[in-house]
Amino acid sequence: MESSKITNLNNIKNIYFIGIGGSGMFPLAHILKEKGFNVSGADIYESDTLQKVRDLGIKVYTEHKESNIDGQDLIVFSAAIKETNPEIIAAKKAGIPVIERSVMLGLVFNKYKKSIGVSGTHGKTTTTSMITSVLIDAGKDPTSVIGATLKKIGGNSYIGNSDIMVAEACEYVDSFLQLNPAISVITNVDADHLDYFGTLENVIKSFRKYALQTSKLVIYNGDSENTTKAVQDISAKVISFGLDEKNDYYAKNISFGKMQNARFDIIHDGKTVSHVTLSVPGKHNIYNALATYIVCSHLGVSNEDFEKYITNFTGAHRRFEILLEKNGITIADDFAHHPTEIKSTLEAASKMGFKRVIAIFQPHTFSRTFMFQEEFAETLSIADEVIVSDILPVRETNIYCVKSTDLTDKIKNSHYIPTFEEICEFVIKNAQSGDLILTLGGGNIYKCANLIAKKL
């Protein structure tokens, strides 16, 4: 569905959101309401987020009807909305501009002088959350849009009064090309969403376009060959980070605590500029923290404040989130749904001293499961025992004829168990003191973790 051509919010007063209860729609509705726009919308699905919309005093319709859009100046729709939606049809008949959610994010982004877009195949949400957390603690009062709940702000959006805005910039279907940030972070570039991009080279090209749209500074992972390719010869200033000493900022003297939380020094121009202690596990969070340091430093956060406030960050929702510790059994949940992410998560988990790491994986989309089945099998094998559920189709039909057993057939000590109820029953029966039960996936596998936690 094409969006109307609209370049700013001048002369716009009344904005209507179709699918206003969506996790990506709520932050924009929240920001625009705070900025003085008249915001309303519709959603047929009741949720905690939809209740938050109502709590802001925003009028919500629970049925999609043509009459809902009377008097509106602009209609915003989420990716889940079809062209057959009666409000879309009515708006087009009435000549009311209709734009997709990512276009609106771009329009909001343009209203902030110090806009920071956080992109990358992996780590976007955690890095956006880290930056937001440190900036809030340091008194910088940012506005922020995050792809998951951050406990500190009680949701996935925060409305500040400064000229700083931090937002997660998603590459899927080139959504982030609607943004023109002052500062961009590229955490890494990897082969993913190949149902849309087709090839890794096309992924790199997309990130390059995004980097070219950045006006002042691109902060990128210099240890990632693909990321380095994406930022070659761009007009904005570039700053690299990583573990390799070739980078502008790099981590040195790295050590890990019992829960795999890293301690390290940040080196720049041959000098130690910060001593960092993280409260989140895994080597991958060193990279996220390096990017966070560079952003916060450029926004005026002192080294002393950074060191103090980065330790306060305890993670975003579904990022190695510990749900329960009972009878010596630990239950945790993680959003990892790509082999690279699963590897990072399971490598960290395997070093935490648990007797067994039992991974419960929900494959996310048929295309990704088919294209990366060898890589999934290899990375899941890091766990001591693996359970694979049915594949979550999301937006796809199974033209690949791929099955969950295509994974379990390649993994020792693995089980294909179709449903969350059956998985819960199996885990409750077999879990032992000293086990980590870790659910993994980008879909609704967290419901399985919550079910196990409830019944344990």
How far is residue 368 from each of residues 87, 400, 407, 408, 445, measured CA to CA in Å? Answer: 33, 10, 12, 16, 16
Q: Locate 220 and state its tokens.
A: 């990128």
**417: number of CA atoms within 13 Å, CB side?**
20
Q: Locate 277 and state its tokens.
A: 């202690």
Instruction: State yes or no: is 93 an active-site residue.
Output: no
Q: What radius of gyration, in Å, describes the C-alpha atoms of the chain?
A: 22
Sign of torsion, CA 326 330 335 337? negative
Instruction: State yes or no: is 124 an active-site residue.
Output: yes
What is the C-alpha to C-alpha distance for residues 320 and 85, in angstroms, rounded to an integer?
37
Angle at 228 between CA 345 and CA 238, to 5 degrees: 110
Catalytic choice (168, 171, 321, 341): 168
What is the C-alpha to C-alpha distance for residues 414 and 383, in angstroms, rounded to an integer?
10
Minimal CA–CA distance to 123: which of 246, 333, 282, 259? Answer: 282
**Strands 237-242 and 261-268, how do they pair?**
unpaired
Instruction: State yes or no: is 100 an active-site residue.
Output: no
Residue owning tokens 């925060």 = 158
- Three-state DSSP at 90 gives helix
Number of Cβ within a 10 Å radius of residue 362: 24
**Strands 74-77 and 14-18, how do they pair?**
parallel
Catalytic choice (125, 126, 292, 365): 125
Residues involved in catalysis: 124-125, 168
